[in-house]
Amino acid sequence: MDIRKISIGPDYKSSAMHYIVGQDVLNGAYKIHLIKYDSDVHSIKVWIESQKKEIFLWKEFNGSMPISIEFNINF
């Protein structure tokens, strides 16, 4: 399943950081392109896309942090 959003941190409502596919980041120079679970290293990776359509790995989160995941659900 495709991940739509992740929230990192112990308090979802007040102090967690939220990352959503399509969200502008780094002062609008990039958008979140893909959020994917990497089963080889048991982490979640966030890939971003530049305005020139180049894709880069931006962040990686491992299981030592509280993570909430929302999946795309297509009915």
Q: What is the pLDDT of residues 4-21, one digit of tens each?
A: 999 999 898 899 999 999
- Percent of the chain exceeding pLDDT 90 equals 80
Sheet arrangement for strand 67-71: 17-20, 3-8, 67-71
Which of 74, 37, 30, 34 lies closest to 53 in space, CA to CA?
30
Work out how many domains the chain is built from and give that number.
1
d(CA 3, CA 19): 10
Domain limits for position 22: 3-71
Q: Phi/psi of residue 68, each to 5°?
A: -110, 135
Q: What pTM was computed for the model?
A: 0.90
Q: How confident is the model at residue 67 (pLDDT cuts 50, 70, 90)?
A: very high
